[in-house]
Chains A and B, each alone.
Chain A
Amino acid sequence: MAVSVRIPTILRPLTGGAAEVASEGDTLAQVLDKLESDHPGLKQRVLDGDGKVRRFVNVYVGDEDVRFAQGLETPTPDGAQVSIIPAVAGG
């Protein structure tokens, strides 16, 4: 499915400076694969050596943190907004 992906500042050098890029796939894993083919190097910045979302990255499909959903197998319906955001603490 066609989705839109928000790219954090530190990954924008890989997207030619774009803050938002198009991708597609039925699941987050497929969306990331398509991103990787369009913007080589991006996937390994989001996933660790074991292929899991890095512990200091939060990925959302819509408003849902994928860690609360099905992780990389979270469905990405047509028109979904995917956001990749560095984890920061607050208080």
Chain B
Amino acid sequence: MTTTTTPRTFGPALGLSCRECGETYDIGPRYACELCFGPLEVAYDFGGVTRDSIAAGPRNIWRYRGLLPVPDHVTDTPNTEPGCTRLVRADGLASALGLRRLWLKDDTGNPTHSFKDRVVAVALAAARELGFKVLACPSTGNLANAVAAASARGGIKSVVFVPHDLEQQKITTTAVYGGTLMAVEGNYDDVNRLASELAGEFEEWAFVNVNVRPYYAEGSKTLGYEIAEQLGWRLPGQVVVPVASGSQLTKVDKAFRELGTLGLVDETPYRVFGAQATGCSPVAQAYKAGHDVVQPVRPSTIAKSLAIGNPADGPYVLDIARRTGGAVEDVTDDEVVEGMTLLARTEGIFAETAGGVTVAVLKKLVESGKLDPEAETAAIISGDGLKTLDAVSAVARPTATIAPTVEAFRAVHDKAGI
């Protein structure tokens, strides 16, 4: 669908270019290079974006609209206004891990409690400019929540496809917003494949992470912008990012590089680390094997939001980890649960399984000496633990169940040494 009644405007975006072969295209609902199938990326001509112009913007991702493929008037249309989530100085977790200074980007604070609100807000803005009337996606859950909510608020239809065995919490937190929710008998990669095929059949639908993916993916840059701005306009020395498709990690790196190029931060060196669950760790395995391509795997992990067996941006994650002197590491499901409880018990932050992956990888990287404990480190907590209650329900239990009497409490109290 390419017709619109008003001129399209995509802010500083000039066009699209192929990340593989460099072929250029006009702005439009396209995502793969016609020559080599490489992913298309937005090309920009950034105007006079300054720290002051950003600071004068709203307290959400639209303060960075001069760096995103959205119209200047994006703030005038109903959207979920995500972003500007907390950057938490995590002294308790830092102490437990032996790090000097640790910051947590707590993206559980977004409107639907994950970073996906950022990418969907940009996708919705682009979809509007491109004239689409339906927002659709395949999802492991967080994206489903974000698309359903953004569509409800934006007043457009949504069609969301999820694996049928998704966590019940994520089903409920999608269906509640209305719209169409299709539970597909297959894993995420099966759902993704179906969506890719449907995107070829239903060309009037904006599949946020398929045919409007170049715009959508840019929303993750705002994580990097916010970390730098919240640190007082500087870059952390190390950053740990969860890896599903790999898009978030590549966009955080892109954001840091853009800020340096634009003179908004000093171009200090930083190292980028990727975090995966061992049960779905194709990028970590490729990193450790020294490969520059990623062999797909069949996922088997409790970290379902990261369970993409065929991660499209995996090769770029490898490039970035190697270029910056970082690494890609993976942790077992038991370590994921330990990461979730460690984070909750040291910082009072209840993250979903992906956050457990990030914290457990952080721990492993410190223990193996790959992460410098003296360097300032930032880690991204991408979603809320209320979405994956089953992961910790066995270890997060009442201390005891007692009769409603003082004696009963005293008996347990004395025994447990509370």
Chain B count of residues within 8 A CB distance of the other chain: 50
Tell me the smallest distance from the CB of A61 to a CB of chain B, in Å: 13
List residues of A whose CB falls within 8 A of some B CB.
6, 8-10, 19, 45, 48, 54-58, 60, 63, 65, 67-68, 83, 85-91
Do residues A87 and B310 form an inter-chain contact, with CB atoms below 8 A?
yes
The 3 closest A-B pairs by CB, nearest first: A89-B245, A89-B312, A86-B32
Residue from B34, B142, B315 within 8 A of A91 (CB atoms): B142
Question: What residues on A are CB-neighbors of B30 within 8 Å?
Answer: 10
CB-CB contacts of B294-313 with A at 8 A, as 1s and 0s? 01101000000100101111
Q: Decide yes or no whether B20 CB sits under 8 A from chain A.
A: yes
Question: What residues on B are CB-neighbors of A89 within 8 Å?
Answer: 209, 213, 244-247, 308, 311-313
Name, among A10, A45, A48, A88, the residue most crowded by chain B CB atoms within 10 Å (CB to CB).
Answer: A88
Question: What residues on B are CB-neighbors of A91 within 8 Å?
Answer: 116, 139-140, 142-143, 209, 244-245, 247-248, 305, 308
Tell me the smallest distance from the CB of A84 to a CB of chain B, in Å: 9
Name, among A8, A83, A89, the residue most crowded by chain B CB atoms within 10 Å (CB to CB).
Answer: A89
Question: What residues on A are CB-neighbors of B313 within 8 Å?
Answer: 89
Do residues B209 and A56 form an inter-chain contact, with CB atoms below 8 A?
no
- Which candidate, B193-201, B330-338, B366-374, is the interface stretch facing chain A? B193-201
With A and B bound together, what is the CA distance between A56 and B31 in angstroms? 11
Q: Decide yes or no whether B46 CB sits under 8 A from chain A.
A: no
Question: What residues on B are CB-neighbors of A87 within 8 Å?
Answer: 37, 310, 312
Tell me the smallest distance from the CB of B133 to a CB of chain A, in Å: 19
Tell me the smallest distance from the CB of A56 to a CB of chain B, in Å: 4
Residue from B38, B116, B143, B197 within 8 A of A83 (CB atoms): B197
Do residues B196 and A88 form an inter-chain contact, with CB atoms below 8 A?
yes
Q: Decide yes or no whether B402 CB sits under 8 A from chain A.
A: no
Question: What residues on B are CB-neighbors of A85 within 8 Å?
Answer: 193, 196-197
Q: Decide yes or no whether B192 CB sits under 8 A from chain A.
A: yes
A sample of 28 cross-chain residue pairs with beta-carbon separation below 8 angstroms, ordered by A number, consists of A8-B200, A9-B200, A10-B33, A10-B37, A19-B201, A45-B36, A55-B293, A56-B20, A56-B32, A56-B38, A63-B190, A65-B189, A65-B296, A65-B310, A67-B295, A85-B196, A85-B197, A86-B32, A87-B37, A88-B32, A89-B245, A89-B312, A90-B143, A90-B188, A90-B195, A90-B308, A91-B248, A91-B305
With A and B bound together, what is the CA distance between A10 and B23 in angstroms? 14
Name, among A9, A56, A87, the residue most crowded by chain B CB atoms within 10 Å (CB to CB).
Answer: A87
With A and B bound together, what is the CA distance between A19 and B189 in angstroms? 22
In the complex formed, the residue of B with least CB distance to A68 is: B296
In the complex formed, the residue of B with least CB distance to A11 is: B34
Do residues A90 and B192 form an inter-chain contact, with CB atoms below 8 A?
yes
Do residues B213 and A88 form an inter-chain contact, with CB atoms below 8 A?
yes
Q: Decide yes or no whether B403 CB sits under 8 A from chain A.
A: no
With A and B bound together, what is the CA distance between A52 and B296 in angstroms? 15
Tell me the smallest distance from the CB of B149 to a CB of chain A, in Å: 16
With A and B bound together, what is the CA distance between A86 and B197 in angstroms? 9
Q: In the complex, which residues 98-148 of chain B have their Cβ closer than 8 Å to any Cβ of chain A? A: 116, 137-140, 142-143
In the complex formed, the residue of A with least CB distance to B38 is: A56
Question: What residues on A are CB-neighbors of B315 within 8 Å?
Answer: 55
Question: What residues on B are CB-neighbors of A83 within 8 Å?
Answer: 193, 197
Name, among B38, B138, B200, the residue most crowded by chain A CB atoms within 10 Å (CB to CB).
Answer: B200
Tell me the smallest distance from the CB of A35 to a CB of chain B, in Å: 16
Question: What residues on B are CB-neighbors of A58 within 8 Å?
Answer: 193, 310
Q: Decide yes or no whether B274 CB sits under 8 A from chain A.
A: no
A45 in contact with B37 given A86-B196, A88-B210, A90-B188 (CB within 8 Å): yes
Question: What residues on A are CB-neighbors of B33 within 8 Å?
Answer: 10, 56
Question: What residues on B are CB-neighbors of A65 within 8 Å?
Answer: 189, 296, 310
Q: Decide yes or no whether B35 CB sits under 8 A from chain A.
A: yes
A19 in contact with B188 given A90-B137, A91-B139 (CB within 8 Å): no
Tell me the smallest distance from the CB of A14 to a CB of chain B, in Å: 10
